[in-house]
Amino acid sequence: MKKYIMAFLSLILSFNAQASSSEILQKSQTTWNKTPLPHMNLTHPEVTVVRIRIPKGEKLPLHKHPILNVGYLTKGELTVRTENDEVLVLKAGDPIIEVIDTWHYGESTGNEDAEIIVVYVGNKGDAITKLKE
């Protein structure tokens, strides 16, 4: 009996050891277009997490983010283009450190809808996105 309990415990411990892992997907002091990240003076920090779904073939309007934001494309393909024609193509599983205060748009360019999880970091009440008029 003791032999079976030890084998069972060994199996559970090896399963748990294999189940947990971590991987740095991206670490940078710049946005994707190599612009240095701004100094952040957060007096009333607020974090907003948003899931954005962009239907296949849809192009978002020209916009900018006045605060730091990072994302992870969970599905599809997303092409991001700045007003100055800088281009980044993301595929499912790719992270992005987004441009800040730079006019840009995203377009779902794959064979399925694109879905991205975006985390915005700023002060309480800061706008996360501004549309170009």
pLDDT tens string, the chain, 133 residues long: the values are 555 555 555 655 565 556 799 999 999 999 999 999 999 999 999 999 999 999 999 999 999 999 999 999 999 999 999 999 999 999 999 999 999 999 999 999 999 999 999 999 999 999 999 999 8
How far from 93 is each of 36, 71, 78, 87, CA to CA, in Å? Answer: 24, 10, 11, 18
Report the DSSP pairing between strands 68-75 and 95-97: antiparallel
Token reading at 67: 């605060």
Burial of 78 (0-12, 13-18, 19+ CB in 10 A): buried
| Full set of structural domains in the chain with CATH | 26-131 (2.60.120.10)
